[in-house]
Structure 1
């Protein structure tokens, strides 16, 4: 089951840090095209399979987002 995790941040720096950390997660072959960044809204959206969704959620939470939502997602 896939999930969409969306986090909004107060600063460009926090957004960039979260993006960099997710991109550099030690997950072999995690597709970059499943990471969407909206710099105007200072949001990052990640589509993740159930197994990795928890790890990505922890990463996003570690950057103190002002909001974090989690939804079911199907292709």
Structure 2
């Protein structure tokens, strides 16, 4: 019975953990075009740069879009 409970808990965690990770939004800037956008995954390549203050992670897209309006490099162009 213990093995079934552990297996069931492991399966539940496997499905729930990625859902929590999806609640991350970042403000990034394309260094060539100087255009800022909101993305739902932290960039791992060099085509964009996170420009959120101190690498801020926003919980919603709307929060990130509002934050983007206050970031100087996003509003100066």
The interval holding the TM-score normalised by the smaller chain is 0.3 to 0.5
Q: Higher RCO, 1 or 2 (CA under 8 Å, sep at least 6)?
A: 1
Instruction: Please tell me whether Structure 1 or Structure 2 has the larger radius of gyration of its CA atoms.
Output: 2
Q: Which has the higher strand share?
A: 1
Question: TM-score w.r.t. structure 2 length?
Answer: 0.32
